[in-house]
Amino acid sequence: MPDFLGSVKGFGVTFKTMFQKVDTVQYPEEKLPTAPRFHGRHQLNRWPDGLEKCIGCELCAWACPADAIYVEGADNTPEERYSPGERYGRVYQINYLRCILCGLCIEACPTRALTMTNDYELADDSREALIWTKEQLVAPLQPGMEAPPHPMRLGETEEDYYSLGAMLAASQPDQDERNPVEEGPVQDWPEQGGQGDVQ
């Protein structure tokens, strides 16, 4: 094939797409619902009595390829208990200037304390506002929950606590389930050839 036909073939693709209908989304007035497993803003979850699930182990920070998570653990005391374990996350920050929303931190979390929501509106014009703190990330208190610090309410031992807590969490709507941005049918995303379903 002559060399000049290569460029003609390339421009053929351009001309073919010029006359196709453009799919315009009127964002932010119209928001399409996200895919069910969309990776959006992070959330720190709670046990049914209000204690935090985060135990300050820092595994999420170690797993983060962008070094976007900073965690400082501290010890629980009988007077001040924030989580059912020995420790809790005293300082928790996610830098959304660095975060690539890959979900590796979610996979690393041993207590399912950290999950990702479907909230994707994270843009800001201030660098400081994109470093989210624990107060911004922790799930709001649901009815029946008590703000920590307080003693464990779901059992006398940690084993009782975890088994009863898991049972209670399964019997009520899960606070860490993803909430779509808007009700409606899920966007039909094109298949990615050769890639598996990523959490």
> What is the residue extent of each domain of the chain?
40-171
Instruction: Measure the CA dihedral 197/45/93/116, to 10°.
Output: 20
Separation between Cα atoms, residue 82 and residue 1, nearest integer Å: 72
Higher pLDDT, 177 or 50: 50
Give me the pLDDT at residue 4, please: 73
Judge contact between 44 and 138, C-beta under 8 A. yes
The CATH number assigned to the domain with range 40-171 reads 3.30.70.3270
User: Higher-confidence residue: 161 or 60?
Assistant: 60
pLDDT for the residue 173 = 56
Q: What is the mean pLDDT of residues 19-29?
A: 84
